[in-house]
Structure 1
Amino acid sequence: MHVKYLIIGAGPTGLGAGRRLRELGENDFLLLERNAYCGGLATSFTDNAGFTWDIGGHVVFSHYDYFDRLIESLLGDAYLEHQRIARVRIAQRWIPYPFQNNIRHLPRDMQWECVQALLPHIRTQVQPHNFRQWIEYVFGAGIARHFMLPYNFKVWATPPELMAYHWIGERVSVIDLEMVLKNLVLELDNVSWGPNNMFRFPLHGGTGEIFHRMGAQLDGHVRLNTAVVQVDPAARTVRTADGDVISYSYMLNTGPLDRLVLDCIDTPHTMLRDAAGRLSRNGVFVAGVGVEDTRDDDTCWMYFPEDDCPYYRLTNFHNYSPNNVALPGRQRALMAETSWSEHKPEDLSSLMDKTVQGLVNTAMLDEAHRDLIVSRWSIAVDYGYPVPTLERDGALRTLHPWLEEHGISSRGRFGGWKYEVANMDHSVMQGVEWAERMVQGTPETTYTIQEK
C-alpha cells in the first residue's frame, strides 16, 4: 500500500493535519493510531461509576482563528464557557492565582519575606543561566522558596537547575516590586493574568469529545489499533505491528520523537541516537476521585507546592461540566495530577491512596467523608510533559534537520518536544500548518525548526 501523506498518531496534531489536508483537496493520506481511540493525551474516559475523566486538566482556549472556528464547527452550542478561578494552597489557606501577584493573602511573616527578597539590594542581579537562577532573579528568594521552586519541581519532576528558561513566554506571570507593594497596601487582587483566563469546555464527553468528532469526520483515513514498529527513511516505508508495509511520499510523526529515533529507525548515525537520548520528559499519574457530596466551591483548579499531598494540581472537574459526574448536582469529581521521573520516583501502586489522603490534608475532603467516595479512576501516562532542559534545543537541532532531509516531519507535544507550543490549540495548529506547507508551500509559524 502506498499513500502520499502518512501520519503517525491520531492525537490533536495528527487529526489537525488530516483535517486540513482534506480541506485542501488532498485525500491520499492515512493516519495510523496505536490506540483503539483518537485523541492521544486529549482523550476522555467514562468509568464504571458514570464519571467522565480527562488525562489531566485540559481547557479550550486559543491563539488562532482557525482553531476557534474548528471548535465551533465541532461542538456547535454544546459547550460551556468559564472564567478561570484558580487558587494556590499554601500555609493552610487559599491564595488567588497567580501566587506572585497575590501575596497579600499570605501570613504576615511570609509576606515580608517575599517583599524583602524583591528589594534591589537583596534580589540577585546575576544574569540567569538556568531555570532555577531565573526564578530567583525574577521573583526573589522568598517567592522562590515558598512557591516557585517546590511547585515547579512537583510539576516537572526535574531539578530546575537542569532546565532552560527561554520557554517561559506567557506560561509564567512575571513580577515587579511596585505591583507587589501596590497590591499589598491597597489590598488588591490580580487574578486575570494569562491566556486561559476565559476557557471553553464540552458540555458532554470531556475534552475527548472534540477529538472523537474530529476522528469520526476522517472516517476511512484513520486506522486504529495500528502501532508502527519500523520506519525506513531511505525506502520511505513503515512496518506495522501486524506486519503490513506501507510506503509514503511524506511522513508526519506525532508520537514521541525519542521513540521514533531509538525504536523505529534503524540508523547507524550515533549522533541521532545520542540526541534522542538527551530528550527529557516526566510521567503523570492522573487520579479521579468521585465523591457523593457537594460543597460551595467555584474554583476551577488549584496548585499545591507543599508536601502534604503528592499532586501538583487538582481540578474541580464537576465545575467544568455538570455532566462529568454520574449524578449532576449531587456529586463532585476531583481530578489530581502527580508527576514522576528518575529525579522524582513515585510508587504508582500507592498513589491513589496517597491522593485521597492528600485530599483530606488539603481540606478538599472531610476525614469523615471517605466513605462517600464512589469512584476511583486512574491512568499513568509515561509521557506527560516534554521537559525543556538545557540540552533540549541542541538535541532538536540535530534531529529535525536530518528527519526533514529524509521526508519526515515530527510535530506535536512529543513529536516536536517543545512545551511552549504544546497547548491543545498549538498542537492542532502544528498539524494544520504542516499540511499547508506540504500542499501550498506556506511556512509553518507555530513550530519552527532551528538549523544546526
Structure 2
Amino acid sequence: MKIVCIGAAPTGLGAAFRLHELQESGDEKALDTQLVLFEQEPYAGGLSCTVKDKNGFLWDMGGHITFDHNYPYYGKATKWAVEEWNQLTRNCMVDMNYLYKTDGLRLVPYPAQFAVPLFPAHIKEKCLMELNERYQQAQSTRSVHNFEDWVLEHFGPTILDVFFRPYTKKVWTVDPVKMSPNWVGTRVAKLPKEKLESLCAMNEKELETADFGWGPNSFFTFPKYGGTGNVWESMRKKLPTDWFKLGTKVLSVDHKNKTIRYLEEGQEKEMEYDALINTTPIDLLVEQTKICPPLNLAHNKVVIVGVGMHAPMTPLLEQFTWLYFPDRNVPFFRVTILSRYGEVTPDSSKYWSIMCECALQIDDPVRVS
C-alpha cells in the first residue's frame, strides 16, 4: 500500500511517526506500507518552523507551545524527536487599559471573562447582571448562528463589546458575527456560576494569585534549544530519509485515478497512490482536486515582529509568558516573551527577546522598510 501525504508539518509528521513506530514493532500491514510526504519548503514543520535572523536570534513563526495531557501520543512523539525540554508555568495577561482610560498597561488575568471582578465598577456591574441573567435561565431560547451569538448566549452584550468583539477583530480581522461558533468548544472558556462567585468574593490582592482554572494547562513545555522548529526538523531526521520530498510543490491531485502531479527540481512528475493524507488548507485541496466547487472561506495573515534586546530584561516582564492586547490602537494582538522559553538568543546572559504577532487582512499590503 502506498500512502501520499501533502505537507510535512506536525500532522504529516505525526502520521509518519506512527507508521515508523508500527514498522519497528513488526506490524505486517505497516511493513507493507510505503509513505511519501510532499513538502514545498526545504524543511519540515510548516507554520511551526523557526528561523534565525542575521544577528543570531531565533524566532518561531507564531506562538507555539506544547500541552499534551490529553494526547499522550503527541508527547511521546515530540520527546522522541527532542530530548531536552523546559517546563514553564503559564502566566498570561490581557491589557485592558482602554476600559480604564489611563496611560500605560492595565493588566488583568486571561481569559478576560474570568477577570470581570477586576473591571471598572460600572462595567463590572453590567457584566455581572448579564451573567446572572444567563445563569437563571433554565433553557435558552436564543438561536446561535455565529460567534457573536455564542458570546451573547453565554456572557452577554457587555463582555462582547469590551473584550470579545475588539479582540476577535484583532486576531482574526473579521467581526465575530462573521465567524462560525462550532470551533469555540475547547478554545473559549465558559464562566461557571460557582467560579464567578468565588472570584467576586476575593479582594484585588487575592485576585492577583487566584486560580483562573487552567488545570493541567497551567504548565507547558518548550524545547530547550532550537525553538519549536527544532522539534519537527529533528523528527524528520530520525525518520527514513526516503519518505520525504522536500522543496517539492504539489500541482494537482486526480482523486479519481489516484495520481498526484508535483514539481521537483524544476521538473513536473506524477505519482500513483492508494491513500491520500492532506494536511494543507482545505481550500487548496479543493483547488488541486476539483473535488467540489471552490470554497468561500475567509482567512487572514500574521506578521511576526521579533525584537532582540540587551540584558537585563524589563523587570515587569520577568513573571509573564505572553500578553494579549485587544486595544485597536496597539498594532499587535499578542506579545510573547520568547527568551523565557528556551535558548533563542545568541547569548542568554547578554540578550533577551520578545515576539509580536500582528494580524492583517489577506489583501493588506505588508511594507518592509
TM-score, structure 2 as length reference: 0.85
Q: Secondary structure at the match of 1:243?
A: strand
CA RMSD of aligned residues (A): 2.3
Letter matched to residue 285 of structure 1? V
Distance 1:346 1:110 in 2: 34
Q: 1:234 Cα shift? A: 2.4
C-alpha separation in 1, matches of 2:321 and 2:79: 22
Residue 232 of structure 2 corresponds to: 211
Q: Does 1:201 align with 2:219?
A: no
Aligned length: 338
**Ranges in structure 1 where 5+ consecutive residues have no aligned partner:** 354-452
Q: Secondary structure at the match of 1:102?
A: helix
Matched, 1:255 2:301: no
Of residues 63, 71, 77, the one that matches 1:64 is 71
Aligned match of 2:341: 320
Match of 2:55 among 49, 57, 60: 49
Q: Distance in 1 between matches of 2:215 and 2:135?
A: 28
> How far did residue 113 of structure 1 move?
3.3
The alpha carbon displacement at 1:55 in A equals 1.0
Q: 1:194 to 1:335 in 2, by over 3 A?
A: farther
Match of 1:426 in 2: none
Q: Supply the distance in 1 between the matched residues of 2:48 and 2:134 (Cα, whole angstroms).
A: 46
Residue 129 of structure 2: aligned partner = 116
Shift of 1:194: 5.8
Q: Within 5 A, what are the aligned runs for 1:53-132?
A: 53-62=59-68, 63-76=70-83, 78-91=84-97, 92-120=105-133, 126-127=141-142, 128-132=144-148
Which residue, 242, 249, 255 being the options, matches 1:227? 249
Q: Which amino acid aligns with 1:247?
A: E
C-alpha distance in 2, partners of 1:75/1:212?
A: 10
Change (3 A) 1:319 1:191: farther
Q: 1:295 is matched with which residue: 314, 319, 326?
A: 314
Please report how far the alpha carbon of residue 177 of structure 1 lies from its aligned counterpart in structure 2 after TM superposition: 4.7
Counterpart AA for 1:146: V
Report SS of the residue matched to 1:172.
Answer: coil
SS of 1:349's partner is: coil
Match of 1:148 in 2: 164
Letter in 2 for 1:90: M
Choose from 175, 182, 188 the match for 1:159. Answer: 175
- Residue 53 (structure 2) pairs with residue 40 (structure 1): no
Equivalents in 2 of 1:9, 1:281: separation in Å? 19
For residues 71-98 of structure 1, what are the alpha-carbon distances to aligned partners after superposition, in whole Å with 9 as ceiling and x for unaligned?
222222x110011000000114010112
- Is 2:150 aligned against 1:134? yes
SS of the equivalent of 2:314 reads coil
> Percent same amino acid at aligned positions?
31
> Does residue 350 of structure 2 align to residue 330 of structure 1?
yes
SS in 2 for 1:120: helix
**Which of residues 321, 329, 340 is equivalent to 2:360?**
340
1:104 and 1:180, CA in 2 relative to 1: closer, same or farther beyond 3 A?
same
* 8 Å CA contact retained: 1:101, 1:190: no
Which deviations, in whole Å up to 9, do the C-alpha atoms of 1:187-244 show, x marking residues without a partner? 2433342653211000000011110111112212111111010212222211212211
What runs of 5+ residues in structure 2 fail to find an aligned partner?
24-30, 98-104
* Alignment counterpart, residue 16 of structure 1, candidates 6, 14, 17: 14
Structure 1 consecutive aligned stretches of length 4 or more whose deviation exceeds 6 Å = 121-124
Q: Is the 8 A contact 2:41 2:248 kept in 1?
A: yes
Question: Aligned-pair distance for 1:319?
Answer: 1.1
TM-fit CA distance, 1:318: 0.8
Q: Is the 8 A contact 1:98 1:173 kept in 2?
A: yes
What's the secondary structure of 1:290's corresponding residue? strand
Q: 1:41 to 1:121 in 2, by over 3 A?
A: closer
Q: CA deviation at 1:132?
A: 0.3
Q: Per-residue deviation at 1:126?
A: 4.5
User: Which amino acid counterpart does residue 154 of structure 1 have in structure 2?
Assistant: K
- How many angstroms does 1:138 deviate by? 1.1
For residues 253 and 170 of structure 1, what CA distance do their matches in structure 2 show?
23
User: What do the CA deviations read for 1:167-200 (whole angstroms, capped 9, x no partner)?
Assistant: 2222111114553343123224333426532110
Pair 1:96–1:60, CA change in 2 (3 A): same
How far is 1:336 from its partner?
1.3
